Copies of this chain bind each other. A is one copy, B any other.
Amino acid sequence: MNIIRIEDPADPRVAPYLSIRERDLVGREGRFVAEGKVVLNVLFAAGRFQAESVLVLENRLAGMTETLALAPDGMPVYVASAAVIDAIAGFHMHRGILAIGSKGVAPSVDDMLAALPERALVAVPVGISNHDNIGSIFRNAAAFGADAVLLDETCCDPLYRKAIRVSVGAALKVPFAVGGTASNLADALSRHGFGQLALSPAGEADIRDMPRPGRLALYFGTEGEGLPEPLLKRLTTARIRMAPGFDSLNVAAASAIALHHFTDATG
């Protein structure tokens, strides 16, 4: 392990970790921040994104040995005291370990879809601008073995720090691509032979009565507005049965139910 002791919060080697929260707001020029042991395990094990470095609390280093054993050879592991780390990050970093990763080059929607197997399950969030919801959708996608997530251009960034955290690292594991509009995504999914189902409280049939095509894309809209009307007109719609009088479901819950229903997982 390439362990490097940091004594000065202004050390240029830890510049990417400076003022974490402020930097969340302005963006990171192609980088993301991953936090906590569980998330870092996924980052290293999935190997989908390149980890540039890790910053760890000195008194947590021993407990991170197994996690760091998964890291790329030679990757710098910066170690510092709590006081130095808090001065770098700008807040008390109780998780004890952070990583900076490189977003790399995002795949095009077509390239990503072309690479999927004959039988594939894809989640398509549309207009989801809440990082908790995006993170939860990725977590559910991973839990139920979805092959990819396709996001329309109005969704928030799955590699935002909080989204990664809520996803428990799934945003670093499940392949995703960001397309244009929902209509552009539907065009692409059609080209690649996907059956497409738009989840909506007013859906024409219960998801439990829907056949599962080999390649299936499931669309999830916002809680308030739902999916765009033109998309609902174009696609087959399906609903999740609910009790009368309180037909309100969080989009993360809806994605859990629909992905669980259509998954091939047998675990």
Contacts and interface: CB of A to CB of B under 8 A. Distances in A.
Interface of A: 42, 136, 139-140, 142-145, 168, 170, 173, 239-244, 246-250, 252-254, 256-257, 260, 263, 265-267
A175 to B, nearest CB: 13
Contacts of A145: 242-243, 246
A242 B141 CA distance: 10
Given A136-B250, A168-B248, A143 B256 contact: no
Contact of A266 (B241, B250, B257): B241
A260 B246 contact: no
Nearest to A252: B253
Given A136-B250, A248-B168, A250-B136, A142 B256 contact: no
A265 B253 contact: no
Nearest to A121: B243
A267 B253 contact: no
30 contacts: A136-B253, A139-B249, A140-B249, A140-B253, A142-B246, A142-B248, A143-B242, A143-B243, A143-B246, A143-B247, A143-B253, A144-B242, A144-B243, A145-B242, A168-B248, A170-B246, A173-B246, A241-B260, A241-B263, A241-B265, A241-B267, A242-B265, A243-B263, A243-B265, A250-B252, A250-B256, A252-B252, A252-B253, A254-B256, A256-B257
Contacts of A144: 242-243
Contacts of A168: 248
Contacts of A140: 249, 253
A101 to B, nearest CB: 18
A121 to B, nearest CB: 10
Contacts of A143: 242-243, 246-249, 253
B257 A242 contact: no
A171 to B, nearest CB: 12
B252 A267 contact: no
A6 B33 CA distance: 47
Given A256-B256, A257-B257, A267 B244 contact: yes
